[in-house]
């Protein structure tokens, strides 16, 4: 397991094609951070890959970041662990925004359940392309 420390958060490489993302408390993600985040994912994960978004802290996105977040074609699925109603609702709002790439996303309250679903989705995708 490799941990990548960023100025705005942490990316934990759980498997060669699955990463856990934890954004720091109070961060306002902007387009430059999103671009950097996407570059880090592409250069450290084997594509296609899946993301476990751990919303253990409260953070937000500016308008341009919201529109460009997780638009990588390499993303198979995203599991979001939301520990409260506010985190869950903010994720639902983000999911509904128009963007160039539709998300394959599911929200969980339990990290292990989220990871189990993510592994299943990643495996299903990998088996489909064989």
Distance CA 108, CA 22 (A): 15
* Nearest in space to 53 (alpha carbons), one of 7, 19, 96: 19
Contact in structure between 46 and 16 (CB atoms under 8 Å): yes
For residue range 94-122, list pLDDT tens digits in order.
Answer: 888 877 778 899 999 999 999 999 999 99
The pTM score is: 0.92
DSSP E strand stretches across 1-100: 2-5, 9-15, 18-23, 28-29, 49-55, 60-61, 75-82
Q: Which residue has the tokens 């990643």?
A: 122
Token representation of residue 48: 């296609």
For residue range 11-41, list pLDDT tens digits in order.
Answer: 999 999 999 999 999 999 999 999 999 999 9
């Amino acid at each position: 397991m490799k941990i990548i420390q960023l100025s705005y958060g942490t990316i934990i490489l759980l498997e060669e094609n699955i990463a856990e993302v934890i954004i720091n408390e109070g961060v306002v993600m902007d387009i430059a951070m999103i671009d950097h985040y996407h570059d880090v994912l592409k250069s450290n994960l084997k594509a296609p890959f899946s993301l476990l978004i751990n919303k253990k802290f409260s953070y937000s996105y500016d308008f341009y970041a919201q529109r460009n977040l997780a638009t990588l074609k390499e993303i198979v699925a995203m599991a979001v662990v939301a520990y409260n109603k506010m985190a869950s609702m903010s994720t639902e709002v983000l999911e509904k925004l128009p963007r160039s790439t539709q998300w394959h996303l599911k929200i969980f309250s339990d990290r292990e359940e989220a990871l189990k679903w993510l592994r299943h989705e990643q495996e299903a995708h990998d088996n489909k392309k064989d």
